[in-house]
Amino acid sequence: MQQRERPHASSPDDGRYRMLIEAVNDYAIYMLDPDGRVSSWNPGARRFKGYEESEILGENFSRFYTEADREQGLPRRALEIAARDGKFEGEGWRCRKDGTRFWALVVIDPIKDASGNLIGFAKITRDLTERKLAEEALRKSEEQFRLLVQGVTDYAIYMLTPAGQVSSWNAGAERIKGYRPEEIIGQHFSRFYTEEDRQAGAPRVALETAAREGRFEKEGWRIRKDGSRFVAHVIIDPIRAPDGTILGFAKITRDITERRETERALQEAREALFQSQKMDAVGQLTGGVAHDFNNLLMAVLGSLELLRKRLPADPKMTRLIDNAIQGAQRGTALTQRMLAFARRQELKPAQIDVADLVGGMTDLLHSSLGAIVQIQTDIPRGIRKVLVDPNQLELAILNLAVNARDAMPKGGSIFIAAREENVANMPSLKAGRYVCLSVTDEGCGMDEATQRRALEPFFTTKGVGKGTGLGLSMVHGMIDQSGGKLVLKSRKGEGTTVELWLPVAATGLGSVSGEEKDVREFERREGPLVILAVDDDALVLLNTVAMLEDLGHTVLEATSGKEALDIIRREGGVDLVITDQAMPHMTGSDLAAAIRAERPDLPIILATGYAELPPGTDKGLPKLSKPFRQQQLADAIVEVLAPEAPRVASFG
Stretch 267-294: mean pLDDT: 66
Looking at residue 444, its pLDDT comes to 84
Stretch 425-433: mean pLDDT: 84
Query: In the predicted model, what is the mean pLDDT of the chain?
Result: 81
* Phi–psi pair at 30, nearest 5 degrees: -150, 165
Greater confidence, 231 or 628? 231
Looking at residue 515, its pLDDT comes to 36
| Whether the predicted pLDDT of 541 surpasses 50 | yes
Greater confidence, 28 or 315? 28
Looking at residue 457, its pLDDT comes to 53
CATH of domain 350-503: 3.30.565.10
Looking at residue 523, its pLDDT comes to 39
How does residue 468 score in pLDDT terms, banded at 50, 70 and 90? Answer: very low
Looking at residue 4, its pLDDT comes to 45
**Domain ranges, ordered by start, for the chain:** 4-131, 152-255, 265-328, 350-503, 530-651
Looking at residue 522, its pLDDT comes to 36
Do the two domains 4-131 and 350-503 of this chain adopt the same fold? no
Amino acid identity at 60: N
Looking at residue 129, its pLDDT comes to 84
Q: What is the pLDDT of residues 239-266, one digit of tens each?
A: 999 898 999 999 999 999 988 888 887 8
| Whether the predicted pLDDT of 600 surpasses 50 | yes
How does residue 121 score in pLDDT terms, banded at 50, 70 and 90? Answer: very high
| Whether the predicted pLDDT of 458 surpasses 80 | no
**Least trusted range by pLDDT, from 22-36, 103-117, 556-570, 616-630:** 616-630
Cβ neighbours of 186 (radius 10 Å) = 10
Residues in the chain: 652
| Whether the predicted pLDDT of 553 surpasses 70 | yes
Looking at residue 579, its pLDDT comes to 93
Looking at residue 573, its pLDDT comes to 85
* Phi–psi pair at 337, nearest 5 degrees: -65, -40
Q: What is the pLDDT of residues 170-183, one digit of tens each?
A: 888 999 999 999 99
Looking at residue 647, its pLDDT comes to 43
CA–CA distance from 286 to each of 292, 329, 343, 478 (Å)?
10, 18, 10, 15
Q: What is the pLDDT of residues 81-101, one digit of tens each?
A: 999 999 999 999 999 999 999
- In a 13 Å sphere around the CA of 479, the CA atoms on its Cβ side amount to 29
Looking at residue 465, its pLDDT comes to 42
Q: How far apart are CA 384 and CA 437, in angstroms?
A: 12
Burial 149-170 (b: 16+ CB within 10 A, else e): bbebeebbbbbbeeebebebbb
| Whether the predicted pLDDT of 44 surpasses 90 | no
CA–CA distance from 278 to each of 275, 400, 483, 584 (Å)?
5, 24, 21, 28
* DSSP-derived pairing of the beta strands 530-534 and 118-127: unpaired
| Whether the predicted pLDDT of 7 surpasses 50 | no
**Least trusted range by pLDDT, from 187-201, 331-345, 351-365, 523-537:** 331-345
Looking at residue 321, its pLDDT comes to 79
Q: How far apart are CA 166 and CA 251, in angstroms?
A: 10
Percentage of residues in the chain having pLDDT higher than 70: 78
| Whether the predicted pLDDT of 64 surpasses 90 | yes
What residues contact residue 30 under an 8 Å CB cut-off, 6+ apart? 38, 39, 40, 41, 42, 45, 123
What is the second-level CATH architecture of the domain 4-131? 2-Layer Sandwich (3.30)
User: In terms of Cα–Cα distance, which of 615, 612, 620 is closest to 647?
Assistant: 620
CATH of domain 152-255: 3.30.450.20
Q: What is the pTM of this model?
A: 0.41
Looking at residue 294, its pLDDT comes to 72
β-partners of residue 221 are: 231
Stretch 583-610: mean pLDDT: 88
How does residue 122 score in pLDDT terms, banded at 50, 70 and 90? Answer: very high
| Whether the predicted pLDDT of 540 surpasses 90 | no
Q: Which CATH class for the 530-651 domain?
A: alpha beta
Q: How far apart are CA 242 and CA 29, in angstroms?
A: 38
Greater confidence, 613 or 443? 443
Q: How far apart are CA 503 and CA 387, in angstroms?
A: 6
Looking at residue 278, its pLDDT comes to 61
Stretch 455-466: mean pLDDT: 52
* DSSP labels, 57-74: TTSBGGGGB-HHHHHTTH
Greater confidence, 319 or 469? 319
Q: What is the pLDDT of residues 311-359, one digit of tens each?
A: 777 777 778 877 887 777 777 666 665 555 554 555 667 888 988 888 8
Greater confidence, 70 or 617? 70
